[in-house]
């Protein structure tokens, strides 16, 4: 799916679950047979030449005891909740594996920031804050309608977009059961739309692999 620099060095590689077994075989072909070390985070591969691959479990993937069961668990369809938010746009959905079972997208008007000063800027800031609060309330209503009925069946809640906006939405008391399911993974997405929600499913299911520097 692609790679990106990792904080502290090395890089991250995102792999579709369906390609994980092949990626592991390729790692062994390049670096020699690797010794797997299982943890709550995932599975680390340590090759004879010193190369290391830290394979992190996707949201909702648990119960593995070795590398084969980790691969199998990653392939197993899990029901995930999705909450994507940025400014006045929100998209919520439920996905089983790579298929959307339910979704809803909504937008609310929130003014952009201004460089103006003085009393007019203060009035603008108050208006913008009120608009943002109203948008967060509408987003919480949407999440409650779509996600809460399925809360007991969700393996995890994967969020994305503007982290502060998502945090504000999840402060709604009704959403406490969903907040408890929130995965550490946070997706970087543009303004949420239905197409963005569909793409987010793949990112939510991906197996993230950290390759430390040699």
> Are 148 and 94 members of one domain?
yes
Closest to 147 measured CA to CA, from 166, 164, 163 = 166
Number of H helices, E strands in the chain: 6, 11
Residue 91 shares a structural domain with residue 44: no
Q: Quick one: which of 176, 179, 183, 178 has its CA closest to 158? A: 183
Tell me what percent of the residues of the chain surpass a pLDDT of 70: 86
User: 19 and 62 share a domain?
Assistant: yes
Whether residue 121 is found in the same domain as residue 56: no
SS3 state of residue 54: strand
Which residue intervals of the chain are DSSP H helices?
Answer: 20-31, 67-75, 118-146, 163-169, 176-179, 194-205
Instruction: Give the number of domains in the chain.
Output: 2
- Asked if residue 8 and residue 40 are part of one domain, the reply reads yes
| Residue 153 CB contacts under 8 Å (≥ 6 apart), including other chains | 79
On whether the CB atoms of residues 158 and 80 are closer than 8 A, the answer is yes
Residues of the domain holding 160:
79-204
Express each pLDDT in 150-160 by its tens digit: 999 999 999 99
CA dihedral 119, 120, 122, 123 (to 10 degrees): 120
Q: Are residues 73 and 84 in the same domain?
A: no
Say yes or no: 41 and 134 in one domain: no
Residue 53 and residue 148 in one domain: no
Check if the beta carbon of residue 11 is closer than 8 Å to that of residue 4. Answer: yes
Element containing residue 48 per DSSP (H, E):
none
Residues 91 and 197 in one domain: yes
Of the CA atoms within 13 Å of residue 22, those in its CB half-sphere come to 5
Q: Which of 17-31, 121-135, 144-158, 167-181 has the lowest mean pLDDT?
A: 121-135
pTM of the predicted model as reported, rounded to 2 decimal places: 0.87
- Give yes or no: residues 108 and 173 share one domain: yes
Say how far apart CA 138 and CA 123 lie, in whole Å: 23
The tens digit of pLDDT for each residue in 89-103 reads 999 999 999 999 999
What CATH number is given to the structural domain containing 85? Answer: 3.30.420.60
Choose among 208, 199, 130: nearest CA to 160: 199
Inter-helix orientation angle 67-75/20-31, to 10°: 150
Asked if residue 158 and residue 90 are part of one domain, the reply reads yes
**Shared-domain flag, residues 16 and 61:** yes
pLDDT digits (tens, 9 = 90+) for 159-212: 999 999 999 999 999 999 999 999 999 999 999 999 999 999 999 999 999 999
Residue 126 has pLDDT above 80, yes or no: no
Q: Would you say 144 and 138 are in contact if contact means Cβ atoms under 8 Å apart?
A: no
């Amino acid at each position: 799916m692609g790679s990106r620099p990792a904080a502290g060095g090395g890089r991250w590689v995102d792999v579709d679950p369906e390609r994980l077994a092949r990626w592991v075989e390729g790692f062994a072909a390049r670096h020699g047979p690797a010794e797997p070390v299982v943890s709550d985070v995932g599975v680390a591969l340590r090759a004879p030449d010193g190369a290391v691959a830290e394979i992190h479990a996707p949201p909702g993937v648990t119960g593995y005891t070795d590398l084969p069961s980790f691969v199998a668990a990653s392939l197993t369809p899990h029901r995930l909740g999705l909450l994507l938010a940025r400014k006045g746009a929100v998209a919520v959905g439920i996905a089983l594996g790579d298929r959307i079972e339910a979704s809803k997208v909504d937008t609310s008007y929130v003014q952009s920031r201004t460089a103006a000063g003085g009393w007019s800027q203060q009035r603008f800031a108050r208006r913008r804050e009120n608009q943002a609060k109203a948008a967060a309330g509408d987003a919480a209503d949407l999440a409650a309608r779509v996600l809460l009925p399925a809360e007991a069946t969700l393996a995890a809640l994967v969020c994305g977009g503007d982290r502060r906006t998502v945090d504000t939405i999840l402060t709604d008391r009704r959403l406490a059961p969903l907040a408890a399911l929130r995965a550490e993974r946070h997706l970087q997405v543009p303004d949420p739309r239905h197409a963005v929600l569909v793409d987010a499913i793949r990112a939510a299911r991906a197996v993230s692999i950290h390759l430390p520097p040699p």
